[in-house]
Amino acid sequence: MTGEGEPMAANSEALKRAAAARALEEVKPGMRLGLGTGSTANAFVELLGERVRGGLDVRCVPTSEATAALAGQVGLTLATLDDMPELDLTVDGADEIGPDLALIKGGGGALLREKIVAAASGAMVVIADAAKLVGTLGRFPLPIEIVPFGAEATRRAVLRLAEAQGLKGEVRLRTRDGHVFVTDGGHFILDAGFGAIPDPAALACGLAGIAGVVEHGLFIGLATKAIVAGDGGVQVLTR
Ligand code: 5RP
């Protein structure tokens, strides 16, 4: 380790925090909020906690057990989506932000709850550093949440779909510390490294039709705004 990576990592953290800070401007008193998952969403949760400790009144639905734990630590009032089935705003990170604010999400393994919460929200603001902006989705392997039963059969079905759509690449069962990664919902994740995905909507449609696929990390038509922090400042993108 040369140490050369440290300033870049520190810069990346600062950019995530800058995007999170700008997203706070979207939050109004009394709002019902969805809280995303991941390091950028964590930055937002921490900043929101400061505001709440200063008197801001909001109620929040977390998209993962990890976010629930952090949100509790910083003093946020939590609710379930059953308590509050309609939300005003969700703030979440992304692995990639493509044209029309189509996203790849699920790098942190929370895509199912993230998508349910985003779909229940009047608005979804994505916060990210500029490295997440892409011209075409697919540089980041697409996470696909599947049921454990028949995981290999489902993996092969995903490969057949990809081939039929002219996509090539590896589809791997996600592991962590030598064990199969298990989501908060008790499912597995496939990471599909197809490279460029020229037609995300067609792929999303195909994946939704595969038995064993619970949900996939293509978020199309859900994000209403992206707040992206780069070295030149913070830009706000809308559809
Ligand atoms: C978790 C996600 C995250 O939003 C995504 O992985 C981005 O994470 P980070 O902000 O740590 O880069 O989709 O399922």
Q: How far is the CA of 11 from the centre of ligand 1 (A)?
A: 17
**Torsion angles phi and psi, residue 144, rounded to 5:** -130, 120
Any binding-site annotation on 39? yes
How far, in Å, from the CA of 110 to the mean position of ligand 1? 8
Residues 163 and 103 in one domain: no
**Whether pLDDT at 2 is above 50:** no
pLDDT above 90 for 40: yes
Q: What number is the ipTM of this complex?
A: 0.98
Sign of torsion over alpha carbons 103, 107, 113, 114: negative
Q: Judge whether 233 is annotated as a binding position.
A: no
Q: What is the CATH number of the domain that holds 106?
A: 3.40.50.1360
The arithmetic mean of pLDDT across residues 43-55, rounded, is 98
pLDDT cut 90: percent of the chain above it = 96
The three-state secondary structure class of 86 is: coil
Cα end-to-end distance, the chain, whole Å: 41
- Residue 114 appears among annotated catalytic residues: yes
The most distant pair of C-alpha atoms in the chain lies apart, rounded to whole Å, by 55
Based on the domain organization, do 85 and 173 belong to the same domain? no
Percent helix, strand, coil in the chain (nearest 5)? 35, 30, 35
Shared domain for 116 and 14, answered yes or no, is: yes
57 torsion bin: left (phi>0), alpha (psi -120 to 50), beta (else):
beta
Express each pLDDT in 165-215 by its tens digit: 999 999 999 999 999 999 999 999 999 999 999 999 999 999 999 999 999
Distance 140 CA to ligand 1 centre (A): 11
Give the pTM: 0.95
| Chain segment 148-163, per-residue pLDDT in tens | 999 999 999 999 999 9
* Residue span of the structural domain in which 204 resides: 142-212
Q: Kindly report the CA angle at 47 between 66 and 176, in degrees rounded to 5?
A: 25
- Atom of ligand 1 lying closest to residue 41 CA: 10
The total number of structural domains that make up the chain: 2
Confirm whether 18 is domain-assigned.
Answer: yes
Q: Look-up: residue for tokens 């604010």?
A: 101
pLDDT band at 1 (very low <50, low <70, confident <90, very high): very low
The reply, when asked if residue 150 is annotated as ligand binding, is no
Please name the residue whose Cα sits nearest to atom 8 of ligand 1.
38
Q: Are residue 126 and residue 17 in the same domain, yes or no?
A: yes
